[in-house]
Amino acid sequence: MAKIKKRSWAEPFKIKVVEPLKITTREYRENAIQEAGYNTFLLHSEDVYIDLLTDSGTNAMSDNQWAGMMLGDEAYAGSKNYYNLEEKMQQYYGYKYLVPAHQGRGAEHMISQVLIRPGMYVPGNMYFTTTRLHQELAGGTFVDVIIDEAHDPQNQHPFKGNVDLQKLEDLIKKVGADKIPYLSIAGTVNMAGGQPFSMENLKQTYDLCKKHGIRIIFDATRAVENAYFIKVREKGYEDKTIAEILKEMCSYTDGATVSAKKDLYVNIGGFLATNEYEVFEETRNIVVVYEGLHTYGGIAGRDMEAMARGIEEMVEYDQVRARIGQVEYVGENLLKHGIPIVEPVGGHAIFLDAKKFYPHIQQVDFPAQTLAAEIYIDSGVRSMERGIVSAGRNKETGDHYYPKLELVRLTFPRRVYTQAHCDVMIESIVDTFENRDKVKGLKMVYEPKYLRFFQARFERL
Ligand SMILES: *Cc1c(COP(=O)(O)O)cnc(C)c1O
């Protein structure tokens, strides 16, 4: 066999401050998860070794961002950090106007209230929980127009986040363009497993929307990860910088909502951006009601400064390559060991297919919830369930929803864990897989009324 030459890459940063982690025994973790009712959301963070619950607000900031924190101008009005953030947003995203918000859902709330009227329809490339909820609270109806491939966990389509233009045309024909205030497009679609859209598809979507006078509002929360996939997968973009691709993506949209807790390497913050003065003016009218004055929007000056500096760092190719490289490294190694995961591996997380992992556990006995608990017991790695528990119950029949996908999500915080941590994750999941036959499911012993996955409690069968 020919020798394959492999050149390793490593993190484009070094460690300056450390946060010590508690190393626990298996017996300790058995006890901790039992006390937490076999629900990883109820574990104390202190008892977790590697925390892959979410990548939202769990980023490590750079020394430059921390230095910026000391330059926070905490004036109630006209903070210099606001103007700095505005300048960086205009420079890198290219939109004209900025309204800060405490986090992504604050921006989603405002754009929904400003643009959606009862009886309207909002098409989108799959839903995101908070985005759809705010559209519905404003009286709108969300319509999924993502391509069918996105719903198939084994389909290898490189751009599973693409909009199905036929579905969009059908909707326009059915309800009329004047009933569609905007199309909502998300970068690296979270609920589809972190899957990107292509520039070609965005351009075509934009042309179709323009023809009918429909805006595009970009959920640019994970835009940089999407730009990276365009660079490495789409012809004609291999030599463009992440910054150029980001700007081009935004140029085919009319405005954006952003949760800074993702791409921007901060722990809190968000914003809304628009090219339309009327939308800007309306939003500034409501930001003071729900978020704060229009020059701070519920964020401290120092956090706006960290966001501004984060924008400059997020477009650095090596940073995003290392982030997605970690996810790919874990994904490739799990596949090598025959672990069933959602493919292709997305930008921010690995999804384990619990139905295939535990084929002997029926869905009513919560295979994904069980798997998340077993991985924690094995190594102290915290993941979360995305299956029957998260899906909830049918309001009419009272029975569980039985979602097609019964998954465990391992989400990677940015710049937080090393490759050795990644090896611990891989080894632990492989060990859990090898011991799969010994595991039985769980039974639910406490069920809250809303969003039950956060607080439900279980016991071993
Ligand atoms: C996290 C997220 C949001 C919501 O942002 P918050 O800051 O959590 O309110 C919206 N869209 C996407 C794609 C996200 O990942």
Which comes out higher in pLDDT, residue 207 or 192?
207
Give the residue ranges of DSSP H helices in 213-262: 223-233, 242-251
- Residue 179 pLDDT class (50, 70, 90 cuts): very high
Which tokens go with 66? 């921390």
Residue 207's H or E segment, with its range, is helix 199-211
User: Could you tell me if the CB of 222 is within 6 A of ligand 1?
Assistant: yes
133-155 pLDDT, tens digit per residue, is: 899 999 999 999 999 999 888 89
State how beta strands 381-382 and 255-259 pair.
Answer: unpaired
Which pair of tokens denotes residue 126? Answer: 């799959």
Do 22 and 369 touch, CB atoms closer than 8 A? no
Q: Is the pLDDT of residue 401 over 60?
A: yes
Instruction: Report the distance separating Cα 245 and Cα 224, nearest Å.
Output: 9
Catalytic: 219? yes
Instruction: Please say if the pLDDT value at position 1 is more than 80.
Output: no
Q: Looking at ligand 1, which residue's alpha carbon is closest to its atom 8?
A: 104
More confident residue, 438 or 128: 438
User: What is the per-residue pLDDT for 191?
Assistant: 79
Calpha distance 262→269 (Å, rounded): 10
pLDDT band at 405 (very low <50, low <70, confident <90, very high): confident
Please work out whether the CB of residue 190 comes within 6 Å of at least one atom of ligand 1: yes
- Return the SS3 of 234: coil
348 lines ligand 1 (CB under 6 A): no
pLDDT at 92 over 70: yes
Using pLDDT thresholds of 50, 70 and 90, give the confidence band for residue 451: confident
Q: Hey, what amino acid is at 183?
A: L
Model confidence pLDDT, tens digit, residues 2-58: 566 777 788 999 999 999 999 999 999 999 999 999 999 999 999 999 999 999 999
What percent of the chain clears pLDDT 90, i.e. is strictly above it?
91
pLDDT score at 8: 77
| Position 337 pLDDT exceeds 90 | yes
- pLDDT, mean of residues 423-444: 97
**What does the angle CA 368 – CA 374 – CA 377 come to, to the nearest 5 degrees?**
145
Q: Considering the chain, what percentage of its residues have pLDDT values greater than 70?
A: 99
Residues near 11 by beta carbon (within 8 Å), at least 6 away in sequence: 322, 415, 418, 419
CA of 197 from ligand 1 middle (Å) equals 17
| CA 324 – CA 229 distance, rounded (Å) | 9
Give the whole-angstrom CA distance, residue 181 versus residue 27: 55
Asked if 368 and 408 touch (Cβ cutoff 8 Å), the reply is yes
| Cα separation, 307 vs 305, whole angstroms | 5
128 is known as an active-site residue: yes
Task: Name the one residue in this structure whose structure tokens are 């986090």.
Answer: 103
Structure-token match 């009933």, residue found: 179
pTM metric for this prediction? 0.94
- Name the band, by pLDDT with cuts 50, 70 and 90, for residue 193: confident
Q: Which CATH number fits the domain 64-314, given the four candidates 3.40.50.620, 3.40.50.2300, 3.40.50.300, 3.40.640.10?
A: 3.40.640.10
For residue 395, the model assigns a pLDDT of 80
Phi and psi at residue 127, in whole multiples of 5°? -90, 155
199 residue type, one letter: M
Q: What are the Cα distances from residue 311, in Å, to 164, 178, 184?
A: 31, 35, 22
C-alpha angle with apex 66: 65 to 72, nearest 5 degrees? 90
Region 26-55+317-460: CATH code: 3.90.1150.10
Query: What angle do the packed helices 223-233 and 317-336 form, to 10 degrees?
Result: 70
Longest CA–CA span in the chain (Å) reads 68
CA of residue 224 to ligand 1 center, whole Å:
14
User: What CA–CA distance (Å, rounded) separates 362 from 367?
Assistant: 7
Contact at 8 Å (CB) between 381 and 375? yes
Predicted local distance difference test score (pLDDT) of residue 151: 86
- The average pLDDT across 319-333 equals 96
pLDDT at 71 over 80: yes
Q: Taking each helix axis as running N to C, give the angle between helix 419-434 and helix 367-379, from 0 to 180 degrees, rounded to the nearest 10.
A: 120
Provide the token pair at 400. 């569980």
Tens digits of per-residue pLDDT, 213-235?
A: 999 999 999 999 999 999 999 99
For the question of residue 399 being annotated catalytic, the response is no
Left if phi > 0, otherwise alpha if psi is -120 to 50, otherwise beta: which for 284? alpha
Query: What is residue 2's predicted lDDT score, i.e. its pLDDT?
Result: 58
- Give the model confidence (pLDDT) of 287-317 as tens digits: 999 999 999 999 999 999 999 999 999 999 9
Q: Determine the Cα–Cα distance for residues 378 and 433; give it in Å rounded to an integer.
A: 11
The mean per-residue pLDDT over the stretch 376-383 comes to 98
For the chain, the average pLDDT equals: 95
Where along the chain do its domains lie?
26-55+317-460, 64-314
Mutate which of 54, 56, 122 for ligand 1? The one with the most ligand atoms within 8 Å of its CB, which is 56
pLDDT at 3: 66
Give tens-digit pLDDT for 98-125.
999 999 999 999 999 999 999 999 999 9
